[in-house]
Structure 1
Amino acid sequence: MRTTTKMAAVVAAAAMIAVGFGSADANAAPRCRAAVEGAATATGILGSGSAKARVEARANWQATARSLYGPRYASFWSAQNKQWDCKKGAILLAKCVVVAKPCRY
């Protein structure tokens, strides 16, 4: 019985250590870099041009962040201070610009 009790104590201690490290990492502050800009234009009617331009601007932002700071900073979802500027241009042309700070955790 003593062996079983010791094994249970070791497993419990390991679980507490794992939980402690997990919560510390989950609450870690992000490391952010200088803001990056992504821009794109697209054509379409009834708002589809704006939607396409937003998707392409986000992809352009990710490519720029990756080339400047590496793949760990290329996640748009982890970025902070996102600012969008989307405008319908001439007849069918829409342009979107996004500026955000790339961050990693």
Structure 2
Amino acid sequence: MKLSETVKGRQLENQIIFTKYNSGAKYIPINIGFMNQEREDEIQFDVADITELQECWAAFCKEEHIPEDCVLDAYIGEEDDDFDYSGSDEAVGDRSF
């Protein structure tokens, strides 16, 4: 399934907006479950919005040589203690994947 279909089906965009509003965070951890060479895998991106999530996913798929339409699920994940979700200039984490 394509990421855009999963995002729409799970109303993930609304969840991101709601979570950011209530937490004051600039970034939200999003987990994407996907099929990778016939096995289930998962990755987390710390993103500001759906557009950034789609860009990160496309870049990841290109780098890892996997099809973009292999998404099984996408949801808000747990925060990483080493990442500054507020987006302050004193960020500890690295936003690269």
Same-fold call, TM > 0.5?
no
Higher relative CO (Cα under 8 Å, sequence separation at least 6) belongs to 2
TM-score, scaled to structure 2: 0.32
Comparing both structures, which one devotes a greater share of its residues to helix? Answer: 1
